[in-house]
Chains A and B, each alone.
Chain A
C-alpha cells in the first residue's frame, strides 16, 4: 500500500534518471576537456615540430581522457538498465554498452603498448649512452 500520490516506481525512475544525467555529464565533460586539450597540443606540436612521433604522447593522453570518460559513460549505462522500459531501449543500451566496452578495451591495450614502447626506447637510449663505441664491427684498432 502506497501513500497517496506517491509512486515508488516513478520516484525510482526520477532518481535514476537524475543520477544517469549527472554521471553521463561527468563523462562528457572529461571527454570534451580531453579533446580540447589534445586539439591545442596537436596544433602546438604541429606548428613547432615536423616529427610524426611527437604526436604519439598527445594521442596517449587523449586516449587516457577517453578511457576515463568511458568509465563514467559505462556507469551510466549500468544505471539505465535499472529503468529501461522497452525492449528497443534495452537493445540500444546493450549496443551502446558494447561499443563503449570495446573502445575501453582497445584504449587500455594501446596505452599499455605505448607505455611498453616508451620504456623500451628509454632503455635503448640509456644503453647507447653507456656504450658509445660499439658501431663498427671488423675494424681493428691501430
Chain B
C-alpha cells in the first residue's frame, strides 16, 4: 500500500504543478495560482505522510501546511484591507 500511496502522492504533486500553471496562464495572477498549488501539494503531503510517517516527511508536511495557512491568511487580510470599488 505504501508504494501505491507514494505513487498517488507523486501524481497529485504533478497535478498541482499543472493546475497552478493553468491558473497562472489564465488569470495572469500568481496570487490566484499559489493557493491552488499549495492546496494540491497539501493533499500530496498527506498521502506521503500516510505512506511513511518518517521525520523527514513529517517536517515536509508541516512546512506545507504552515505555508498554506500563512498564504491563505495573508491573502484574506490583503483582500479585506483593499478598498472596495463596487459601491
Interface residues of A (CB under 8 A from B): 21, 24-25, 27-28, 31-32, 34-36, 38-39, 42-43, 46-47, 49-52, 55, 59, 62-63, 66, 69-70, 73, 92-93, 95-96, 99-100, 102-103, 106, 110, 113
B76 contacts across to A, CB distance below 8 A:
113
- Give B residues with C-beta under 8 Å from A: 1, 5, 8, 12, 15-16, 18-19, 22-23, 25-29, 31-32, 35-36, 39-40, 42-44, 46-47, 49-50, 53-55, 58, 61-62, 65, 68-69, 72, 76
In the complex, what distance in Å separates the CA atom of A132 from the CA atom of B23? Answer: 34
- A21-B1, A96-B53, A106-B69 given as contacts; is B27 within 8 A of A36 (CB)? no
Query: Which residues of chain A have C-beta atoms less than 8 A from B50's C-beta?
Result: 24, 27-28, 73
Per DSSP, chain A at the interface is: helix
